[in-house]
Structure 1
Amino acid sequence: MASEGRKAVATGAAETAYAGKTVHLIGVGGSGMRALAQMLLERGAKVIGSDSMPSAVLDDLAARGASVFVGQRGENLPAKTDLVVHSAAIHEANPELVAARQRRCEVLKYSQMLGRLMADRCGIAVAGTHGKSTTTAMVAYALTVSGRSPSFIVGATVSQLGGPSGVGTGPHFVAEACEFDRSFLNLSPTFAAILNIEEDHLDCYEDLPAIVEAFRAFAAGIPPHGVLVANGEDREVAAATGGAACEVQTFGLRPECLWSAGSLSADRGRYCFDVLFGGRAFCRMSLKLAGLHQVYNSLAAGALLHQAGLSGQEIADALSRFEGAHRRMTVKGQEAGVTVLDDYAHHPTEIQATLRAIKDRYTPARIWCVFQPHQHSRTRFLLRDFARSFSAADKVIVPDIYFVRDSEREKEYISSNDLVAQIRLNGGDAVYLSDFGAIVEHLKRDLRPGDLAVTMGAGNVWEVADEIVRWLAGHR
């Protein structure tokens, strides 16, 4: 494609632009920031990073050559710092950010830095309330195994890609396009997808129309020679893409969508289907990932990959081998007749889709869902939706809300007890247990063969899954 050729010319300069530079990353433990750190290390930069808490992510970055600090202090900034990058979760009062501004360092948000990296390539960006990480990983994986050598940043670790990021020699740069703080408006993709649009991040958006307006601005940023792949069954997506200057290609299960699925069948939650392009057979897909939502993700990924030059057979072969991203229905262990999973779902729609997929895939006697709400503001704004989202779970355990980004005052408005009460009003069997230790003891006492336990949330609830697996392994 002509656009690919133009972008590829600048690739060599982009690869060396950060070699030998000192880049300080504030909030380096976040999913996107750690991927950025790895990419900068691969490009020869000297990476310094900090985060508020120790984690395996920081240990891994240190092993890769980054200098990592636990705790954020102004003195963490090196005397010679070429660039400071911070995540959207970092407040202006952060001591390292204050020090960087006082020293007149160049300061960028994560999304601005991502936009710089993408500008030198043929950008492929995946936007939407749900499914971004998996769909981005699908695209990056297919380009990689088909020999296109993309650069990519995924908001989750992908074992088949060797991590959350990679630097390739090909013309494509694949990245998630997150709507939080309108971050995705800093990107300049040639090809993009909008998977879906729902209420979320209401700590920075007034309401759903404001979210749609942000997606409309994102769609307007796709150049006329680009292509936007859009969910043809989502009315909010239709509202956001109606005025796009580029070609819009729809996907979905309905036959009127340009990209659709025919002859759909499922075996224990895993779907096989014909991918139809304009009503004609394009390829036959057999997914390893469970859940109907993965059919939508793979249709969007396939449409983007077609624009990137892959054949139908290349797309089908790659996506049929794709095993998913970390913390997406990840099997942590199967011991003593009990299956333990971990998942990142932290929005009502994601919870519903994941629990349905778990039920179809594993047909357990009982599903125990340990759900850690993420953000007090999200829990408060979407409380009723959350309460209705656990119908497929037999038992729900809710620890304290994971505190991030919100003000201290927000804690006064909502608690996990409020969510438990609402789940019970909707007919669910839910209990509040404040800390992980109490949850582990509860599960040890009540789990029995045939059960499945899944930890859910964007915080550190996976620690419960790990502890249960260790306990089960010692009681075989």
Structure 2
Amino acid sequence: MLRDAKHVHMIGIGGIGMSGIARILLFGGCAVSGSDVRLTSTVRYLQKLGAAVHIGHDPANVPHEAQVVVRSEAVKAGNPELECAAARGVQVMRYAEALGQLMRAYRGVAVAGTHGKTTTTAMIAWVLKRAQLRPSFVVGGNVPALGGSAGVGEGDIFVAEACEYSRSFLNLTPEVAVINNIEEDHLDYYSGLDEIRRAFADFAARATPDGIIVVNRDDADAVKAAEGATCRRVTIGFSKDADWRAEKVESSYGFTSFEVFRHGSSLGKSYLKMSGEHNVMNALAAAAVADHFGVSGEAIIASLATFPGVSRRFEELGDRDGVTVVDDYAHHPTAVRLTLRAVREKYPGGRRLWCVFQPHQHSRTRFLLNDFAHSFADADVVVIPDIFFVRDGEAERALITSEDLVREIAARGGEARYIPDFPEILKHLARNVQPGDILLTMGAGNVNELAEAFLAARSRTTTALQ
């Protein structure tokens, strides 16, 4: 068992989730070693905490005293450290299995859904922390105000993001399960929406009978998935019959206000430092979870108003020569559409919106090509670099390119341009963006580096990425 191990070795330790588990193990007194392909700020922080982290994968990295080896989902069979562990007979588990084992020692909260998992998980951790419940948490993004992507509290609650890819979330047995929404995604793994629906139904059934499942009342697939749960169901949404309901939603200049109702009774007006009805839904989920743990309605509303957000989730990075630069993690058609709409809400007045969208995965781009093509209506100009290559094989890579997406956007009346690499995109932006424009970078890859490079340039003459 992971929690009984005295020394754990982690392959791919620098990832968001893996580094979160590493932090929890370290704070619990476990010796942690690991490896990753790059020396990042996250890796340096783990080293500062006492983890022995190697750059590169090598059998020699696996200490003889390691009792358990945890592998990132990105680590494939044939990895030399995996083979070393197998040869020695050391127990090997995936990240999701490790997360599930950690959660068993707590009152677990698992947040699932095609969109909004990271923000909702962070909101829940934020509200519970401000209520002095001292939760532990693992979030799929960096939350500077919470001290990063993970934290260890002295309380008995553990909040974690629950990913549906490869049915990873079925390793969790939470007291509280959350399903924000269900859509087609990860079609390199799932055969289609029916199989995705069944996976979410299996997840809902894993919530403990004494707990609750929080489900989006306005998403028919989410409601259907929750039917098999043996625990009490709590609904959220804009529908009149939702247990937690938002009304009078208003967004302006990056702030959103709405009235919160619990079982038909108003709790008052709530505020968020972010735009978009999707974030209101995330807030309702956080409110329902906090209520389950005894946080008062007044405290919930006050905490939501102070929630500072998550890095790379509609994050305003700065201004260069009158151009406002925003970065977002959106990599699914629905998230792209909602983010662009939120940009228009935050920055009214007809400012020209440039969107540099880096597609994430060739398979996702191919399967959802038509949906992506319809997602950019709120952008004035779309620039698309090469697809971020991850998880797919070379055969899949050969089936689609960013140029295919550019053609589809143009066929629907949009202005789109394919520019393969970041240095050339920076040159194009330097020649064409004007004071008053908005530059939005979007994607789950490394497109945020382009935004940072654009801001770092001291003049309108671009500098190449280092």
TM-score, normalization: structure 2?
A: 0.95
**Residue aligning to 1:237:** 222
Identity of aligned residues (%): 47
Q: Which moved more, 1:167-176 or 1:73-82?
A: 73-82
**Residue aligning to 1:345:** 330
Matching residue within 108, 114, 129 for 2:114: 129
Letter in 2 for 1:60: Y
Letter in 1 for 2:351: A
**Contact 1:220/1:243 (<8 A) preserved:** yes
Partner Cα separation in structure 1 for residue 356 and residue 34 of structure 2:
32
Closer, same or farther: CA 24–191 of 1 in aligned 2, 3 Å: same
**Residue aligning to 1:199:** 184
Partner Cα separation in structure 1 for residue 15 and residue 360 of structure 2:
14
Partner Cα separation in structure 2 for residue 64 and residue 456 of structure 1:
32
Letter in 2 for 1:375: Q
- Give how far 1:269 is off: 4.6
Partner Cα separation in structure 1 for residue 310 and residue 417 of structure 2:
30
Q: Which moved more, 1:178-187 or 1:355-364?
A: 355-364
Matching residue within 392, 407, 411 for 2:397: 411
**Residue aligning to 1:384:** 370
Partner Cα separation in structure 2 for residue 375 and residue 100 of structure 1:
30
Structure 2 residue 309 is matched with structure 1 residue 312: no
**Residue aligning to 1:165:** 150
Q: Counterpart of 2:310 in 1: which secondary structure?
A: coil
**Contact 2:251/2:345 (<8 A) preserved:** no
Q: Compute the RMSD of aligned alpha carbons.
A: 1.7
**Residue aligning to 1:78:** 63
Partner Cα separation in structure 2 for residue 95 and residue 406 of structure 1:
21
**Residue aligning to 1:331:** 316
Q: Counterpart of 1:203 in 2: which secondary structure?
A: coil
Closer, same or farther: CA 447–64 of 1 in aligned 2, 3 Å: farther
Q: Which moved more, 1:99-108 or 1:120-129?
A: 99-108
Show the 5 A alignment for 1:414-425.
414-425=400-411
**Residue aligning to 1:6:** none
Partner Cα separation in structure 2 for residue 164 and residue 312 of structure 1:
26
Q: Which moved more, 1:437-446 or 1:31-40?
A: 31-40
Partner Cα separation in structure 2 for residue 463 and residue 286 of structure 1:
31
Partner Cα separation in structure 1 for residue 41 and residue 206 of structure 2:
37
- Give how far 1:437 is off: 0.7
Letter in 2 for 1:413: L
In structure 1, the gaps of 5 or more residues are 1-12
**Residue aligning to 2:444:** 458
Structure 2 residue 436 is matched with structure 1 residue 471: no
Partner Cα separation in structure 2 for residue 354 and residue 240 of structure 1:
26
Matching residue within 425, 428, 435 for 2:421: 435
Q: Which moved more, 1:374-383 or 1:263-272?
A: 263-272
**Residue aligning to 2:131:** 146
Closer, same or farther: CA 73–408 of 1 in aligned 2, 3 Å: farther
**Contact 2:251/2:346 (<8 A) preserved:** no
**Contact 1:252/1:259 (<8 A) preserved:** yes
Q: Which moved more, 1:453-462 or 1:61-70?
A: 61-70
CA deviation vs aligned residue, 1:453-474 (integer Å, no higher than 9, x gap):
1111111111100100011578
CA deviation vs aligned residue, 1:49-95 (integer Å, no higher than 9, x gap):
22233433323323333222222222221222121111222212222
- Give how far 1:226 is off: 1.0
**Contact 1:197/1:234 (<8 A) preserved:** yes
In structure 2, the gaps of 5 or more residues are 462-466
Show the 5 A alignment for 1:246-261.
246-261=231-246
Show the 5 A alignment for 1:39-118.
39-118=24-103
- Give how far 1:44 is off: 2.2
- Give how far 1:403 is off: 1.0
**Contact 2:252/2:275 (<8 A) preserved:** no
**Contact 1:88/1:181 (<8 A) preserved:** no
**Residue aligning to 2:464:** none
TM-score, normalization: structure 1?
A: 0.93
Q: Counterpart of 1:196 in 2: which secondary structure?
A: coil
Structure 2 residue 359 is matched with structure 1 residue 373: yes
Q: Which moved more, 1:81-90 or 1:291-300?
A: 81-90
Letter in 1 for 2:378: A
Partner Cα separation in structure 1 for residue 428 and residue 44 of structure 2:
31
Structure 2 residue 39 is matched with structure 1 residue 31: no
Matching residue within 286, 295, 302 for 1:301: 286
Q: Which moved more, 1:365-374 or 1:130-139?
A: 365-374
Q: Counterpart of 1:450 in 2: which secondary structure?
A: coil
Q: Which moved more, 1:280-289 or 1:385-394?
A: 280-289
